[in-house]
Structure 1
Amino acid sequence: MSNPPTEFYSAERWQNWIDRLDDEEIDPEDESSARLLLNLQDDTAIAVAKIVAAYDDGELDEETTLEKLGEVREIVLSEVDIDDEETLMLVDGVQTSLVCVFYAAEEYVAGGPADDASVDEYIRAAADAEAEEELDAALGYAAQAGTLVFDDEDVDISVAEDIEYGLVTEWVNGLDSLQSAMSDPEVVEEDE
């Protein structure tokens, strides 16, 4: 058994992204700004995918895997210090998208892939739960969809077009980043 990496993501790495966003005039309509935000999200999803891959490969046990996921989650979901209100909102959107990625990873490690429905069915169930203002249930369904992404099933991003914009569409966005990370877990360069 090879030695797994001890650090999959660092507070310094996250802060570098945040500093970069803080330094630039972020305009979500601008392609390079949108790419920067997506890279921030993808970079985190890649770290999560690598932790789960190390678990799947037997390099990490369940307890260590959940610990590593918790460390990354704590870094990424902590409060961000950015002066510009709009940039702060955009980073908050990225963090919201990633909440589902973390829950899905933890659920996958603790219980394996959900097997009661398809990715689309879980996402639609999440949207229905959100419409009923049952947000915990909505996150649960979205996370179950995510466990299937870890199990190599695809998220059809067009499913988000059929549901009302809200938390579930943000979570689907996160699962889309996770799907990209699973298929191409190459590190996003911070200076692109």
Structure 2
Amino acid sequence: MSGTEGDVLHHDFYTAERWNNWINQVKESDFKFEESDEPQGKEGAIFVNMEDDIILACLKIIAKYEKGQLSRESALQYIGQIRDIALAEIDPISEDADLMIDSLQTSLMGGFAACEAYLSGDYDSDTEIEDLVKVALEAEASDDIEIALGTIAEIGALVISGKELTDKVMEEVPYGLVAEWLDGIDSIAAAMIGSDGYKDDEEDDEM
């Protein structure tokens, strides 16, 4: 163990102030959809960066849990605190920005559920991601939203444990809640493939 839980408990993995800074950037960006209905340029990148920032904070918590610096209970508590910050209702900004923030928050729901499932061990490492995606889509089609999100959480836990969420699987998912939640899982996968400096992170970088 390279530290004790007591050393970590004062650590601010993510703060409401940090989230509010992002929201202020969205307000200043005067974001609007272009003709293609896709986020464009620098303004659209804000939402991607907001999500990445949250996901990295969650992965830092998981890394400290895996090193034995945080108990499972404390790690879950920290994830819960970040979830409460990021999923809190936001005052309207503009129609386009509000749609993007709503989409971002839905995506993050998948990410948070994944982290919680991984920390709790609520997944079977022998299950195939493709099979779980089918289960999630069937549940969504039947309006079994709780089962759908629980299944997404299992997929995310498998991704955190090292399994791959392939582009092929992502491309075959029709637009809907499952697709948006899977976007959060995809963000986790991308963050893990990128720099793994978060695993050795001692202090949060300020924005």
**Could you state the TM-score of these two structures normalised by the residue count of structure 2?**
0.84
Greater mean alpha carbon deviation, residues 149-158 or residues 171-180: 149-158
Give how far 1:69 is off. Answer: 0.6
The partner residue of 1:134 within 132, 144, 149 is 144
Check conservation: 1:22, 1:82, Cα contact below 8 A: no
Task: Say yes or no: does 1:156 pair with 2:166.
Answer: yes
Q: Where does residue 38 of structure 1 map in the other structure?
A: 48
Q: For each residue in 1:98-135, what CA deviation from the matched residue of structure 2 results, as whole angstroms up to 9, or x when unmatched?
A: 10111111111112643352222212211121112111
The whole-number CA distance in structure 2 between the counterparts of 1:48 and 1:157 is 23
> 5+ unaligned residues in a row in structure 2: which ranges?
199-204
Q: Percent identity?
A: 34
The within-5 A match list for 1:17-166 is: 17-28=22-33, 29=38, 30-111=40-121, 113-166=123-176
Partner SS for 2:139: helix
* SS state at 1:164 partner: coil
Q: Residue in 2 aligned with 1:15? A: 20
The 2-side partners of 1:83 and 1:98 are apart by 19
**2:55 alignment partner AA:** A
CA distance in 2, matches of 1:120, 1:35: 29
Q: Secondary structure at the match of 1:165?
A: coil
**2:145 partner letter:** L
Task: Write out per-residue CA displacement over residues 7-58 of structure 1, whole angstroms, 9 at most, x where no aligned residue.
Answer: 1111111110111001112134312222211111111111111111111111
The equivalent of 2:201 in structure 1 is: none
User: How far apart are the structure 1 equivalents of 2:175 and 2:18?
Assistant: 30
Distance 2:196 2:125 in 1: 25
Distance in 2 of aligned mates of 1:26 and 1:185: 31
The runs of at least 4 aligned residues of structure 1 exceeding 6 Å deviation read none
Question: Structure 2 counterpart of 1:132, which letter?
Answer: S
Count, aligned residues: 191
SS of 1:42's equivalent?
helix
Shift of residue 185, structure 1, vs aligned partner = 4.7
Q: Is the 8 A contact 2:152 2:181 kept in 1?
A: yes
After alignment, is 89-98 or 30-39 more displaced?
30-39
Once the two structures are TM-superposed, the CA of residue 83 in structure 1 deviates from its matched residue by 2.2
Change beyond 3 A, Cα 1:91–1:190: farther
TM-score (norm 1): 0.91
The 3 A distance-change label for structure 1 pair 186 and 80 is farther
